Amino acid sequence: MKQEEIFKALIKELFAVNATHQEYQDNDTHFVVDSEKEGNTLTIKVQLLENEDKKKFEEWLKQVDDDLFTEVLDELREREGLNDLQALYNSKDYKKVIERVTSKTKEIAARKIKSFKKLLS
C-alpha cells in the first residue's frame, strides 16, 4: 500500500469520529495522537514523547572518553556475556544496559585513577 493511500485511509477514519485520543508505544517510539472534528475541519495533533532515561544516558555518554567507552563495552561483552547490548538497549529492558554501562564505566575509571595515583606517588 502506498503512503498516499495509507494517509487517505487514516484521514477518512479520523473524519468518521468526532474526536480521538490514542497513545502508541513500541520500544523507543512513543507518541500521542489527538484529533478533533469541527464541521468540515479536522485538527490532528501528533506529539512525539522522548524517553527521558535514554536521553539523559546518551547525554552522559557524550562526556565519556571514547577509549574508556570501548573498554567498558569490551568488558561487558567478554566478562559479563552481554554480547548484544544494542538489541537489549532497544528492548523494554533498556534500563539494564544503562545501569550496567554506567556502573562499569565508573568501575573502570576508578581503577584507572587508582593506577595513575600509583604511578604519581
How is 30-91 classified by DSSP, letter by letter?
EEEEEEEEETTEEEEEEEEPP-HHHHHHHHHHTTS-HHHHHHHHHHHHHTT----HHHHHTS
DSSP state of 121: -
pLDDT tens digit at each of 121 positions of the chain: 688 998 888 888 888 888 888 888 776 678 888 888 888 888 889 998 888 888 899 999 999 999 999 999 999 888 777 778 888 887 888 899 999 999 999 999 999 999 999 888 8
Secondary structure of residue 106 in the 3-state scheme:
helix
Tell me how far the alpha carbon of residue 110 is from its chain's centroid: 27
End-to-end CA distance of the chain, in Å? Answer: 70
Please report, for residues 19, 21, 61, 104, 121, the alpha-carbon distance to residue 58 in angstroms, rounded to integers and kept in the order given.
Answer: 37, 30, 5, 15, 35
Is the pTM of the predicted complex or chain greater than 0.75?
Answer: no
